[in-house]
Structure 1
Amino acid sequence: MNDCFRWLYQQRQRIDLLPSNPLSKALLYAHERETQLHVFLANPGGPVETNHLERAQRVIPMGRNNFLFCWTEIGAEQLGILQSLMVTCRLQGVNPYYYLVDVLQRISLPPARDVLDLTPRVLKDKFKDNFLTSNLAQMG
């Protein structure tokens, strides 16, 4: 890879390439992203694109009309936090409903220092066989 980036640098030094030349633009593009390309190439198991994250976040722009009814900035901020949490649940493979039922019950249990155990990833690993359920589930 280092040889490739050296070659890219040498090509960028050519005086016969105008800045408007498509090759010049491509060379500049690669040069500006050299660090990111090194990180990507050093981790071959990483995803090539972030489409799954973009799809998961699509609910936020889709709900913009609903945000008009938050009434306050604090309400809108809380809604954003809640939506981000729900997207994180889905990405971790945790049912958001079961997650909320479980967390809302565990949050009142001591000790408060264990609050990091309530994130979707940790909760899934730690309590996957022992999710707390609501009394409503037993009623019907």
Structure 2
Amino acid sequence: MDVFGQLYDIERDIKDKSSAERKEARQKLAKPIWENFGRWLEENAGLIKENSAIYKAFAYTMKRHKRLSVYMENGMLNIDNNPIESSIRPIALGRRNFLFSGSHDGAQRSAMLYSFMGTCKLHGINPMTWMEDVLKRINTHPSDKIHELLPPNWKKLQEETLEEKQENTILKTA
């Protein structure tokens, strides 16, 4: 009984659909699988030796069965929290390194850099390209517009600048 494999196969098939279509597909395809799994857990829980690891897994899943199906009611939710866990992984891995930041201020600066790098990655920006450009501009950029240098705003500014350059090139060649 590969319940989780089946559920993830469904998610793979519907990942590019709208949230309404994902909800509909989950209701039609995933919900019956999950409900059957819940019944199977209840029917077989008594057959397993208490205090065993498998019994603990059964009890854990049975206790949370309803809450684990919440994603089926909302097409905007993911089946798991893997994207979030992946985004905080560098923080977890770097935690030991933060002990050697030299000072509280050094640790704050490291955390700020990690945050900027994570935000860049989240928005599909090369962190080094962003940092090089921002470091060149930051001293001359108007302080009341410093928010323009934050990664998502910076990306939008870059795209607008590129469009302007392309338009100017077209006008010059016309």
TM-score (norm 1): 0.55
Q: Work out whether residues 125 and 151 of structure 2, in 8 Å CA contact, stay in contact via their aligned partners in 1.
A: yes
Look up the SS of the partner of 2:144 in the other structure. coil
Select which of 67, 83, 102 maps to 1:71. 102
Please state how far the C-alpha of 1:20 moved relative to its aligned partner.
2.0
TM-score (norm 2): 0.47
Which amino acid in structure 2 is aligned with residue 127 of structure 1? L
Q: Distance between the aligned counterparts of 1:59 and 1:16, measured in 2?
A: 42
Q: Work out whether residues 89 and 120 of structure 1, in 8 Å CA contact, stay in contact via their aligned partners in 2.
A: yes
Q: % of aligned pairs identical? A: 19
Q: Deviations over 1:43-98 (max 9, x none)?
A: 48837562795387447635845852x32112112211212211221232112233
Select which of 39, 44, 52 maps to 1:7. 39
Q: Work out whether residues 40 and 46 of structure 1, in 8 Å CA contact, stay in contact via their aligned partners in 2.
A: yes
Q: Work out whether residues 17 and 24 of structure 1, in 8 Å CA contact, stay in contact via their aligned partners in 2.
A: yes
Which amino acid in structure 1 is aligned with residue 157 of structure 2? F
Equivalent positions of 1:85-104 (< 5 A) are 85-100=116-131, 101-102=133-134
Look up the SS of the partner of 2:51 in the other structure. coil
Q: Distance between the aligned counterparts of 2:38 and 2:97, measured in 1?
A: 50
Which amino acid in structure 1 is aligned with residue 159 of structure 2? D
Structure 1 unaligned runs (5+)?
Answer: 132-140
Q: Does 1:46 align with 2:78?
A: yes
Q: Distance between the aligned counterparts of 1:22 and 1:56, measured in 2?
A: 29
Q: Which residue of 2 aligns with 1:82?
A: 113
Q: Work out whether residues 57 and 87 of structure 1, in 8 Å CA contact, stay in contact via their aligned partners in 2.
A: no
Q: Which residue of 2 aligns with 1:127?
A: 157
Please state how far the C-alpha of 1:99 moved relative to its aligned partner.
2.0
Q: Distance between the aligned counterparts of 1:7 and 1:59, measured in 2?
A: 39
Q: Work out whether residues 49 and 55 of structure 2, in 8 Å CA contact, stay in contact via their aligned partners in 1.
A: yes
Residues 18/56 of structure 1: CA separation in 2 closer, same or farther (3 Å cut): closer
Which amino acid in structure 2 is aligned with residue 76 of structure 1? A
Which amino acid in structure 1 is aligned with residue 78 of structure 2? G
Please state how far the C-alpha of 1:129 moved relative to its aligned partner.
1.9
* Number of equivalent positions: 125
Equivalent positions of 1:18-29 (< 5 A) are 18-29=49-60
Please report the RMSD computed on the Cα atoms of aligned residues, expressed in angstroms. 4.3
Q: Distance between the aligned counterparts of 1:3 and 1:63, measured in 2?
A: 40
Look up the SS of the partner of 1:110 in the other structure. helix
The structure where helix makes up a greater share of residues is: 2
Q: Does 1:110 align with 2:144?
A: yes
Structure 2 unaligned runs (5+)?
Answer: 1-30, 162-174
Q: Work out whether residues 98 and 110 of structure 2, in 8 Å CA contact, stay in contact via their aligned partners in 1.
A: no
